[in-house]
Amino acid sequence: MAQVIPLKPTDEDDLRLTTQGAYPPSDDLSAVKKFQDWWQKADKAQSQNLQNEKNEHAFALGHQWDEKTYEEIKGSGRVPLVINKTLSTINVVSGYERSNRMRVRYLPVEEGDNLKGEIWTEVARVVQEQGDIDFVKSDAFHDMLKGGRGCYELRMDYTKDAAGEIVTDLIKPWELRIDPLSVREDLMDARYVQRAKEVSLEEILLLWPDKGEELVGANAAALDLAQDNTIADRDSDYNSILSSSYKKDSDRWQLLETWYYQVEKIGEFIAYNPMAKDWEPVKDRLSMLALLSSSPQLQWQRRTRHERKYYHAFSVGPVLCENNPSPYNWKGYPHVIIWGLKDEETGRHIGMVHSMVRWK
């Protein structure tokens, strides 16, 4: 069973680098509750902007009458005609982007870097083609023109190829919840990024068969709760998570995907290199022992530093399906956001539709 590794501040550096109480606790239910709290906090902070984004996407697709006026026009026997010039204008701008795509090219910095630059340029080309990045990026750009944000996720997929293949998924902006304290466009200051979708119990059991007993138990508890058959000795947090995660009308669950980071203390060895006249890191303890066995007089130290560790979790209701270290080497999230113009008054990023429609 995957377990959350808590980061608990123990000294001044930890308190400076982390937010006390922000880390998920070590037991599954408390971790799930923390993920749910994050989602609700971000949803509350971003709900109006998310609704405006949905409205602007709908407007661009031709849904340009408000519901009251639409019903009044239909009721009077008239046709609620829409002459939609908005989408055609957006398509023209999107077409410019598609026909003028930028290619990644690595240039040499020092003498002898030409070959390296050519190799990395070719690697970037293969990655872009294999993951259909250009096409998905253009779709995300189209979303940005409509609502101010376009989103996609770049990840590795192992369902078809055991060696893994690069996959790029388009994400609708309102599917994401981002740490409301984040201000950087590259999300490097975001404590967490979450995505949710509604799924059936059968779909969840196919993904996490080892969690079958817990999932079936949660489903039965949710049905009891939906029928007001509360169980007195059940944890109140458990009931609260059930009520917010289970959709009675559709008999579906909220599958919550959470990416987050923790700042953790990392112990490492360093050794003095007399040739370079500088201290250099040593890979691990065994490498340090090997160096000392060959050079007993070697100067070395063991030091502690702080490092971000990224984690990837899935939860369904009160059940923590998995919570593991990020499978990627880079320090960041796999989500890429294309931002529109920022409205400094509201802090919201806007697209082309915003100037045509007056939202709250």
56 Ramachandran zone, left/alpha/beta (phi>0; psi -120 to 50): alpha
- DSSP H or E run through 171: strand 165-171
Q: Tokens 């050794």 map to which residue?
A: 271
Contact 13, 7 (CB under 8 A): no
Read off the DSSP letter of residue 77.
T
Helix or strand or coil: residue 158? coil
pLDDT digits (tens, 9 = 90+) for 90-122: 999 999 998 888 778 888 888 878 888 888 888
Helix or strand or coil: residue 101? coil
Q: CA angle at residue 152 from 306 to 51, to 5 degrees?
A: 100
Residue 45 dihedral angles phi and psi, to the nearest 5°: -70, -30
What is the C-alpha separation between 153 and 27, in angstroms, rounded?
29
Pick the closest to residue 259 from 140, 137, 155 (CA basis). Answer: 155
What is the mean predicted confidence (pLDDT) over 114-136?
84
User: Is pLDDT at 285 greater than 80 in this prediction?
Assistant: yes
Pick the closest to residue 226 from 212, 247, 204 (CA basis). Answer: 247
Q: What is the pTM assigned to this prediction? A: 0.80
What is the C-alpha separation between 177 and 174, in angstroms, rounded?
8
pLDDT digits (tens, 9 = 90+) for 29-69: 888 999 999 999 999 999 988 999 999 999 999 888 888 88
Of residues 172 and 346, more confidently modeled: 172
pLDDT score for 174: 92
pLDDT digits (tens, 9 = 90+) for 223-271: 887 776 555 555 677 888 888 888 888 889 999 999 999 888 888 888 9
